[in-house]
Amino acid sequence: MLEKYGLNIEYIVVGLAATILLLLIIVIGLLISHKKLKKSYKKFMSCGDGQSLEERFLDKFKVLDEVAEENKAIKLALKKLNEEQKKSITKVSLVKYDAFDETTGKLSSVIALLNDGNNGVILNSVYSTRSGCYLYAKEIINGESYKVLTEEEKIALNDAIKNGKLDELN
């Protein structure tokens, strides 16, 4: 019957056999691949000591929760530390000068010590060859003194407020 259409039955059988053989090779390859995948899956789903993947995930989430709590504690401690740091001396300025005509070498000095709020103290060390050395302290509140400041004290105070670093005036 196929011969009247110009088809040879032997060619069709050989073609179908080749197709079946090709499909058989593909199925064998898929079975081998499936076996390897199944082996990998079993290995992934259980530890060497038999612990399941779910238990491992729960352990990791527990560790993650502990890290989050520790992170909160660190942030709180850092916030407190930053607040305390604002109270500490962070701005410093030094001015050296000659207090009297009789002394040279700029042995007298003014040091301004301020915190971030510009609160602190000015220390003025006045040196004289005749009467020795005297130290005067003046309180600074919000960048101002309620006592009269000398020119050198004003320079030290303004420099500490502006620059906040140790400078020397020559």
- Of 170, 169, 110, nearest to 145 (Cα)? 110
d(CA 159, CA 169): 10
Domain ranges of the chain: 1-45, 52-87, 91-162
CB atoms within 10 A of CB 89: 14
CB atoms within 10 A of CB 126: 20
Per-residue pLDDT of the chain (170 residues; tens, 9 = 90+): 667 777 788 888 999 999 999 999 999 999 999 999 998 888 777 665 556 677 778 889 999 999 999 999 999 999 999 888 888 888 999 999 988 777 677 889 999 999 988 999 999 999 887 778 889 999 999 999 999 999 999 999 999 998 865 444 43
DSSP for 39-73 reads HHHHHHHB-TTS-BHHHHHHHHHHHHHHHHHHHHH
